[in-house]
């Protein structure tokens, strides 16, 4: 998650996982410049990035251009025009209530060096508890699960999800301040590498605990 101030200065907070090693959250700052052709250069400690910025400012496509053997590229989406705590002087804050309602997500994940399809539905009750229903299929078999969990949402819109009474967290997430979506990453350190976006489909809660799993 990054905050660009419109004057060439940015602050960021991020985390990563290699499937077996989660480093936790860390933060920093950088500078950037944008030309009239909407091409931006961002100067991070890890090297320069080249960004093609949407003319309406809604996001950008980026690639890391430090040629050291790493290949990185993706897209960024603007989720708010205001700043969040820990990135700069806060003008908006998240809470458990921000992450409320029912969300869906899907992706292709790497599970012990085997690719698998994954789809899930989660309902958050705004009180720190949630239910989930998920299906994983690696082409040779299907695993269906339902369960419950707890979650926290910090003022800077960073969420942590715990499954089925576990002490260690299952997922780390960045929540859109309006609660319409969040970006999550598996941090179970169980050999699964996965990350995607969950989109809210309803403000209501759905019963994910039904015993029948179609």
pTM value is 0.86
DSSP state letter for 180: S
**In sequence order, which residues have a C-beta less than 8 Å from that of residue 148 and are 6 or more positions away?**
129, 130, 131, 132, 163, 164, 209
Highest mean pLDDT pick, 26-40, 62-76, 79-93, 198-212: 26-40
Q: Look at residue 89 and tell me whether its pLDDT is greater than 70.
A: no
Residue with tokens 């949630």: 130
Predicted confidence band at 213 (pLDDT cuts at 50, 70, 90)?
A: low
- The pLDDT assigned to 92 comes to 75
Nearest 5°: phi and psi at 158?
-95, 125
Mean of the pLDDT values across residues 49-59? Answer: 95
Q: Report the share of the chain in percent with pLDDT over 70.
A: 96
Predicted confidence band at 90 (pLDDT cuts at 50, 70, 90)?
A: low
Nearest 5°: phi and psi at 113?
70, 15
Hey, which residues does 148 pair with through a beta bridge?
Answer: 131
């Amino acid at each position: 998650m990054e905050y660009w101030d419109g004057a060439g200065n940015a602050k960021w907070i991020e985390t990563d996982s290699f499937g077996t090693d989660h480093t936790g959250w860390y933060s920093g700052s950088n500078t950037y410049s944008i030309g009239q052709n909407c091409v931006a250069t961002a100067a991070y400690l890890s090297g320069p990035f080249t960004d093609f910025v949407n003319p309406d400012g809604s996001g950008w496509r980026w690639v890391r251009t430090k040629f050291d053997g790493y290949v990185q590229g993706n897209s960024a989406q603007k989720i708010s025009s205001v700043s969040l705590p820990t990135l700069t002087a806060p003008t908006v804050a998240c809470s458990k209530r921000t992450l409320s309602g029912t969300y869906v997500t899907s992706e292709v994940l790497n599970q012990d060096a085997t690719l698998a399809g994954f789809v899930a539905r989660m309902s958050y009750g705004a009180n720190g508890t949630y239910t989930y229903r998920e299906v994983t299929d690696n082409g040779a078999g299907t695993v269906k699960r339902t369960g419950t969990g707890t979650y926290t949402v910090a003022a800077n819109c960073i969420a942590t999800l715990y499954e089925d009474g576990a002490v260690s967290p299952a997922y780390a997430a960045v929540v859109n301040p309006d609660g319409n979506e969040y970006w999550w990453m598996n941090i179970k350190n169980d050999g699964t590498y996965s990350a995607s976006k969950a989109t809210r489909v309803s403000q209501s809660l759905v019963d994910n605990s039904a015993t029948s799993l179609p």
